[in-house]
Structure 1
Amino acid sequence: MWINDDVCYQALTARDARFDGQFFVAVVTTGVYCRPVCPARVPRRDNCRFFPSAAAAEAGGYRPCLRCRPELAPGHASVDARRRLARAVAARIDEGGLTDNHLGALAAELGVSDRHLRRTFGDEFGVSPVAYAQTQRLLLAKRLLTDTGLPVTEVALAAGFGSVRRFNALFRQRYRLQPSQLRRLPTSRHQDSLDFQLAYRPPLDWLRLLAFLGQRAIAGVEAVDDGVSRRTVALSRQGQALRGWLAVRPVPGRPLLAVTLSASLARAVPEVLGRLQRLFDLGCQPQEVSVRLGELAEAHPGLRVPGAFDGFEAAVRAVLGQQITVRAACTLAGRVAAALGEPLATPFAGLTHTFPDAERVAESSADTLGELGIIRTRVKAIQVLARACADGDLVLAPGAAVEDTLARLQALPGIGDWTAQYLAMRALGWPDAFPAADYGVLKALGETSPARARERAEAWRPWRAYAVMHLWQSLEKGEEKGE
């Protein structure tokens, strides 16, 4: 779905942040492409060419602006099925999805044919998935060269290039620069950490977002204090286990979040940044949401739907939270992390463990989980859930087929509509999820019938997940309870 070129030029002239990341503008006379919020002088209309993606602009022979840095543009949220598929594929590619897997494997994971994936992606972004992936690797490398002190060899590997020679050649060909030339720009470099920025479309209600996450923080794994979100990280990259920590805080006066990662996560930068974009819902388009929700969103126009840094972790927390308070669920989740997770040294008090992966939980005995205070029915539900995730039968990440995933979830023991819809909101990033049986939703609506709540929520489609957040916020504590 392309935006009219005249609308694009008006947005460029106004430097309208609502369009940041929606399109990119290339200037014929300079050979450079920019974000619509670029602070440079606005070019003449007849010198502008508009593209739906950075990859399409580079395919047209343009190189990225060094001032507005197209690699920092915020992402997208979409509800249309075809656009959701294309953007889910883009998100996987941004996170290195084509580094470890072939396109066919990615298509199979998303439940579509290779041909359909290619066609849908091309219609949305104007280039093939492979061309898009190459551009994203180069933009990530540019970002690492600009923002970190990593050696060029490490930059090439972290960005997904198998050969430093290939990386150098492509960088010179595409950007007309030697990689080392970007090192002349001022950077903040630390031997033990890496610093990045993530952009979003304002407004962003950071304090309420943190309050939601803080109430649900898993002891030893997550912590929220003084306006900063911190957590431990454990993931695998090209068969290598990577563990570390991160911290996220807002940049005063700018629509940016500052991210600090431990240097141990250098090989996983794209995946970690992608997960953070989902966690903080940085692809949200607040204006579209506010228009649909109307009066419901007036009090808090920057309210987001918190995602999940790890879908399996969120699923375990959700199962533990059924029919008990948020605080009690966090206590149990903390015990799971302490008993089954790996110890990790961090510079932050209270962050001591990584959360166990699905394979580790699936292999644990029922007695081990039961000794943590988890009731027998929850133990069984968690073990079956863990096995389904470990075997790849269940994918809890944005881009997974929503209806199929909901059906798979509810076919598991101990998981009903509330848990499935809650995970659709957070783990799948589905903006139209609606847990109609949620205690807080019913209370805020003054209803006792989930069917009646669904009927009233029809007016908020396709942004019902955002309506849920506003309904929870209308209650003083905003706590949800399980089925």
Structure 2
Amino acid sequence: MDAATDNACYNALKARDARFDGRFFTGVTSTGIYCRPVCSVRTPRRENCRFFELAAQAEAAGFRPCLRCRPELAPQSHAWSIQDASGILANQAARLLDEPDAWSEAPASVAALARRLGVSDRHLRRIFEAQFGVSPLQYLQTRRLLTAKQLLADTSLPVSQVALCSGFSSLRRFNAAFVGHYGLSPAQLRRQGEERDGEGTRVRLGYRPPYDVAAMLGFFSRRFITGIEHVDIGTAQFARTLRVRADGRDHAGWISMRFDEDRSQVVLRVSDGLRDVLPLVIRRVRAALDLDADPQAIHAVLQGDFPGSIGLRVPGSLDGYELAIRAVLGQQITVAAARTLAQRVVDRFGSPLADAPIASLTKLFPTPEVLAVAEGDALGSLGIVRQRQAAIAGIARAVAQGRLQLHPGANVPDTIDLLKTLPGIGDWTAHYIAMRALRWPDAFPAGDIALQKALGVATARAAEEASAAWRPWRSYAVLRAWARPQEKKT
């Protein structure tokens, strides 16, 4: 960072401005600790501060994470570019390292990452270090250690399980890395017991304000399915059942997400059935609620055409496959009609879940294997037309066979192309899935009629032309455009 940027960071640090949380970290030379800008400790002297864009950079410089503000709770910060090829590649590499879903079959490694990106190990290391100032291995190690630090602080998981959940191949390597980086053993960092609020394991997830909580919960409340979802706008809570497939087996349970706006945090409760995949659940929740968005950077691009919408986030999904099925059910019909069809699918094909703290959470969304073999007559009896029956079966088969990956670590262009080869999947559905399941910030369903009306244009080509100035944040422009009229889009 240059002197002017450092001065701006110090001003944000003095103000404890939550809008900058996760955008930089402060290393304090007098203590050897690095903190978030929202840390409640006394502001250090300017000459004792060094500023870093990434936690991995601070740790590479020899600083240890603060035990009070806990850097692992900060929202992540990823720059998006549509011009610099090296920057695009480096940021894509970082996104893949941050996505547990991208490594469900084998542990993340620099060699595997390079193969996935189609470049050599040497080239990947060079562009990554040029972009971030640390190697991919250092970045990955910091991510694993911070994940472990959160699990140690907030849960009662055994240390051996924390090591495996965080991506370490053995307890010995985990202990050595933890002591080497933080000067503490994992047991020394353990709190006096995990936080509990009723049932389930509780952790906190930070985000950068402003955040339009009412809009996010309103979006989910208009679409919730009885049995698998529960929305309480009064208490700012969204709860649901969830199945996570990892390590060759299914983990099922419930999660509850409650917004704590005073702290700019989401309080996440996770049932015991999902504790073994807690880091993956945390990552999915961050994506589903768009907690890592940088509203200032997005608004700087969109404010000319969409003023006053800075707090809007793009609602994601906790299960990309489920989102894709629901997107198909919502093709060319109203939100209410799509919700009715989805409810019928869950009632007919969903599997039961017991012992959720919210009485209405009783079902799990049907698996890909179930819908892949669902007979046309069974779907047709629910009011689903033949074209959508074929689309549902096509998506379910592709996911069940492992050909289609619907998570933020997936390759966006390839996934969109694959989706459009499936029966009944057009450009609108593919971009809608990319926007919400793949978390692509530049998705743009130009053929959407409600979007065209909101933009004051009559064709998809005109909508595409109008959107050029909003890149790479066109997904956010879509949400802002949809928020203009009273009607909400599926």
| Common fold: TM-score over 0.5 | yes
Shift of 1:35: 1.4
Confirm or deny that 1:386 pairs with 2:396: yes
The equivalences for 1:238-257 within 5 A come to 238-257=247-266
Which one of the candidate residues 160, 166, 191 is aligned to 1:159?
166
Shift of 1:414: 0.9
In 2, the alpha carbon distance for the partners of 1:305 and 1:70 equals 24
User: Gaps spanning 5+ residues in structure 2: where?
Assistant: 82-87
Amino acid at match of 1:135: T
Asked if the contact 2:208–2:295 (Cα under 8 Å) also holds between the matched residues in 1, the reply is: yes
2:84 match: none
In 2, the alpha carbon distance for the partners of 1:377 and 1:116 equals 45
Report the CA distance shift for 1:475/1:366 in structure 2 as closer, same or farther (over 3 A): same
Mean alpha-carbon deviation: is it higher for 395-404 or for 63-72?
395-404
Mean alpha-carbon deviation: is it higher for 34-43 or for 98-107?
98-107
In 2, the alpha carbon distance for the partners of 1:478 and 1:384 equals 27
In 2, the alpha carbon distance for the partners of 1:11 and 1:417 equals 42
Asked if the contact 1:64–1:70 (Cα under 8 Å) also holds between the matched residues in 2, the reply is: yes
1:134 match: 141
Which one of the candidate residues 188, 193, 196 is aligned to 2:195?
188
Shift of 1:419: 0.8
Which one of the candidate residues 265, 279, 282 is aligned to 2:291?
282
Alignment RMSD, CA only? 2.7
Asked if the contact 1:111–1:400 (Cα under 8 Å) also holds between the matched residues in 2, the reply is: no
Which one of the candidate residues 294, 313, 326 is aligned to 1:304?
313
Report the CA distance shift for 1:118/1:310 in structure 2 as closer, same or farther (over 3 A): farther
Confirm or deny that 1:323 pairs with 2:327: no
| Identical aligned residues as a percent | 50
The equivalences for 1:287-366 within 5 A come to 287-345=296-354, 346-366=356-376
Shift of 1:78: 3.6
In 1, the alpha carbon distance for the partners of 2:101 and 2:48 equals 30
In 1, the alpha carbon distance for the partners of 2:134 and 2:27 equals 16
SS at match of 2:256: strand
1:45 match: 46
Shift of 1:245: 0.5
Amino acid at match of 2:314: V
Write the deviation string for residues 19-46 of structure 1: whole angstroms up to 9, x where unpaired: 3212222122211111122222232333
Mean alpha-carbon deviation: is it higher for 323-332 or for 261-270?
323-332
1:377 match: 387
TM-score computed with the length of structure 1 as normaliser: 0.90
Amino acid at match of 2:244: L
1:457 match: 467
The equivalences for 1:34-183 within 5 A come to 34-80=35-81, 81-82=88-89, 84-92=91-99, 100-106=107-113, 117-183=124-190
In 1, the alpha carbon distance for the partners of 2:322 and 2:114 equals 24
Mean alpha-carbon deviation: is it higher for 399-408 or for 112-121?
112-121
In 1, the alpha carbon distance for the partners of 2:424 and 2:125 equals 37
SS at match of 1:233: strand
SS at match of 1:275: helix
Write the deviation string for residues 304-361 of structure 1: whole angstroms up to 9, x where unpaired: 1111211111111111111111122222223333333321111212222222333432
In 1, the alpha carbon distance for the partners of 2:411 and 2:21 equals 27
Which one of the candidate residues 395, 404, 408 is aligned to 2:414?
404
Amino acid at match of 1:354: L
Asked if the contact 1:86–1:120 (Cα under 8 Å) also holds between the matched residues in 2, the reply is: no
Confirm or deny that 1:413 pairs with 2:420: no
User: Gaps spanning 5+ residues in structure 1: where?
Assistant: none
TM-score computed with the length of structure 2 as normaliser: 0.89
Asked if the contact 1:110–1:399 (Cα under 8 Å) also holds between the matched residues in 2, the reply is: no
Report the CA distance shift for 1:354/1:124 in structure 2 as closer, same or farther (over 3 A): farther
